[in-house]
């Protein structure tokens, strides 16, 4: 009898706790959160850059902090994630790491940008999209 009562109390406690969490999450739910995920946010962040790329561009370069700064001055997982998200956002354009292409995306901290720009020739057009994103066109 005591065993059955313990099971019933445990089951009822679980149901009440589950219902409490359901109500709590339902009250916090916001339909805007559905489109406010990392992928959608990055896609929006790249929209102006994507619109500025000529339609005939098939491959562009990509330079991130990991290409400029020594290990420890950046978070590798962030660099990798942003590179993959950029590939997704600009598909079907092929994104190649490095700055050998005519068009290059820079995703650099101010420190990395200062280092990178010092090694570049004059005459490049650099468009700043904010939030550390730049599009470089080399003549």
Prediction pTM value:
0.74
How confident is the model at residue 104, as a pLDDT?
Answer: 98
Here the tokens at position 74 are 């950046």
How confident is the model at residue 54, as a pLDDT?
Answer: 96
How confident is the model at residue 29, as a pLDDT?
Answer: 67
How confident is the model at residue 69, as a pLDDT?
Answer: 94
Distance, in Å, from the CA atom of 106 to the CA atom of 126, rounded to the nearest integer, reads 9
How confident is the model at residue 17, as a pLDDT?
Answer: 84
How confident is the model at residue 9, as a pLDDT?
Answer: 86
**Is 125 exposed, middle or buried (CB count within 10 Å of its CB: 0-12, 13-18, 19+)?**
exposed
How confident is the model at residue 2, as a pLDDT?
Answer: 84
Here the tokens at position 82 are 């942003």
Contacts of residue 38, defined as CB under 8 A and 6 or more positions apart, other chains included, come to 81, 85
- How do the pLDDT tens digits run along the chain, 139 residues long? 888 888 888 888 889 888 887 777 777 766 665 667 888 889 999 999 999 999 999 999 999 999 999 888 889 999 999 999 999 999 999 999 999 999 999 999 999 999 999 999 989 999 999 999 999 999 8
Contacts of residue 74, defined as CB under 8 A and 6 or more positions apart, other chains included, come to 64, 65, 66, 109, 112
């Amino acid at each position: 009898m005591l065993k059955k009562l313990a099971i019933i109390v445990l089951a009822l406690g679980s149901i009440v706790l589950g219902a409490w969490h359901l109500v709590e999450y339902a009250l916090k739910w916001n339909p805007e959160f559905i489109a406010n995920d990392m992928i959608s946010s990055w896609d929006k962040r790249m929209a102006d850059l994507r619109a500025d790329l000529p339609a005939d561009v098939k491959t562009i370069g990509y330079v991130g902090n990991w290409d400029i700064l020594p290990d420890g001055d950046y978070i590798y997982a962030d660099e990798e994630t942003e590179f993959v998200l950029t590939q997704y956002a600009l598909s079907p354009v092929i994104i190649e790491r490095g700055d050998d292409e005519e068009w290059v995306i820079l995703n650099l901290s101010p420190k990395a940008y200062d280092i990178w720009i010092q090694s570049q020739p004059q005459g490049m057009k650099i468009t700043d999209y904010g939030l550390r994103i730049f599009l470089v066109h080399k003549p």
